[in-house]
């Protein structure tokens, strides 16, 4: 086709994106099918009687219970939830860092595959399932929640740390090894400084997630705000539940802000 012939031809339209159209149809079909399958009786749900009951239920959440005795209890629950999240995350940082070393391929292919398998397994099981298992292993109470968070978060942090280690430049460590340094010292002086800042950021981000999860784990008996909330809701004490929900919100907001502050500041020097 000569240049002049190409210039003379009318501009062709782009062919429609068949993949996108098929996808859109698929999505609509899936959503419709889902609502149909769930067979939620909408007429009954939005009936006058049903709405009245809902309104009554919501109304009982206000005003929240602010008696000093209950506020003290809520504060204690919040502190316990924070402790569970903090200790769980701390354990996960240590364990995750330890497993990240083989998972980054430092010790060969077989350890790498094995470590990654362990991390994937730890990550895939949700915290609530871990908590249910830990309640059996360690008894009811916040310790089960701490362990559950530690196990799940080890999988998450371990994988992130392994990727950081793999992406870190090998040049400083190689230079030190060629200067006669031992393996541990070379790692500590050369590779560790390259990954700690990002590692702390990941840990703080997970702490924010874990605060929310720690509250939830209380539902299976792991203490803190969650356990209190479950209890008060099951005996239909909405006013107390309302206070606890507000406490949860305040705790989450406080930890999010603290984490953002620490992440924003420059971390101190390494060594």
Partner 1 sequence: MSATAATIQRPAAPLRDPATTARATALVAAVVVLWPLLALAEFRPWQLFDTSHLQVMANFLAGFLPPATAPDFLALLARATLETLAIATAGIALAFVVAAPLAVVATRALAVSRIGPGPGRAAGASIRTATRGVLTVLRAIPEVVWALVFVRALGLGPGAGVLALAVTYGGMLGKVYTEILESGDTRSARALLEAGSPRLGALFYALVPSTAQELASYTVYRWECAVRASVVMGFVGAGGLGQLMDQSMKMLNGGEASTILLTFLALVIVADAMSALIRRVLS
Partner 2 sequence: MSLRLEAAGLVHANGHRALRDVSIALERGERVAVIGPSGAGKTTLVRLLGTSLKPSEGRLFIDDGDPWQLGANELRRLRARIGVVHQSPPIPGRLRVVTAVLAGRLGTWPAWNAIASLVVPGDAAGARAMLDRLDLGDRVFDRCDRLSGGQLQRVGIARVLYQQPEIVLADEPVSALDPALADLSVGALVAESETRGATLVASLHAVDLALKWFPRLVGMKAGEVVFDRPNAAVTSSMLHDLYATEGRALPEQGVDIVEEVRRHNVVSLKRPGCQ
**Interface ranges with partner 1 (CB under 8 A):** 19-20, 23, 30-31, 33-35, 37-38, 40, 45, 54, 57-58, 79-80, 82-84, 86-88, 124-129, 132, 136-139, 141-143, 145-147, 212-213, 215-216, 219-220, 223, 226, 229-230, 233-234, 236, 241, 245, 248-249, 252-253, 268-269
**Residue count (the chain):** 271
Closest approach, Cβ 133 to partner 2, in A, equals: 36
> Residue 121: which of 133, 135, 105, 136 has the closest Cα?
133
Tell whether residue 176 is a contact of partner 2 (CB under 8 A): yes
**Neighbour count for residue 140 (Cβ, 10 Å):** 15
Instruction: Determine the straight-line distance between the first and last CA of the chain, rounded to whole angstroms.
Output: 68
Among 51, 129, 175, 262, binds partner 2 (CB under 8 A): 175
Instruction: Among 10, 11, 15, 180, indicate the residue that binds partner 2 (CB under 8 A).
Output: 180
**Contact assessment for residue 149 and residue 214, using Cβ atoms and an 8 Å cutoff:** yes
Q: Does 182 bind partner 2 (CB under 8 A)?
A: yes
Distance, CA of 44 to CA of 42 (rounded, Å): 5
Q: In angstroms, rounded to a whole number, what is the distance separating the alpha carbons of residues 99 and 106?
A: 11
Question: Do 149 and 237 contact (CB within 8 A), yes or no?
Answer: no
Least spacing, CB of residue 259 vs partner 2, in Å: 20
Enumerate binding residues for partner 2 (CB under 8 A).
169, 171-172, 174-176, 178-182, 184-186, 188-190, 193-194, 196-197, 267, 269-271
């Amino acid at each position: 086709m000569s240049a002049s012939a190409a210039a003379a031809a009318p501009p062709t339209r782009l062919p429609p994106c068949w993949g996108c159209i098929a996808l859109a149809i698929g999505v609509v079909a899936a959503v419709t099918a889902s609502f149909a399958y769930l067979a939620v009786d909408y007429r009954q749900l939005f009936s006058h009687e049903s709405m009245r009951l809902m309104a009554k239920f919501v109304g009982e959440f206000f005003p929240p219970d602010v008696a000093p005795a209950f506020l003290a209890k809520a504060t204690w629950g919040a502190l316990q939830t924070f402790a569970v999240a903090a200790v769980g995350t701390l354990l996960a940082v240590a364990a995750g860092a330890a497993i990240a070393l083989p998972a980054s391929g430092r010790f060969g292919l077989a350890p790498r595959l094995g470590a990654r398998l362990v991390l994937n397994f730890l990550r895939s099981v949700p915290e609530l399932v871990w908590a249910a298992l830990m309640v059996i292993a360690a008894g009811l109470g916040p310790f089960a929640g701490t362990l559950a968070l530690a196990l799940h978060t080890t999988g998450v942090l371990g994988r992130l740390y392994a990727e950081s280690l793999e992406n870190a430049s090998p040049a400083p460590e190689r230079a030190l090894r060629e200067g006669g340094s031992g393996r541990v010292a070379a790692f500590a002086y050369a590779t560790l400084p390259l990954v700690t800042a990002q590692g702390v950021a990941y840990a703080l981000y997970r702490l924010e997630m874990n605060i929310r999860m720690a509250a939830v784990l209380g539902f299976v008996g792991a203490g803190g705000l969650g356990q209190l909330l479950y209890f008060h809701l099951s005996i239909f004490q909405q006013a107390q539940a309302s206070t606890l929900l507000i406490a949860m919100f305040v705790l989450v907001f406080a930890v999010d802000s603290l984490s953002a502050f620490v992440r924003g500041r420059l971390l101190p020097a390494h060594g």
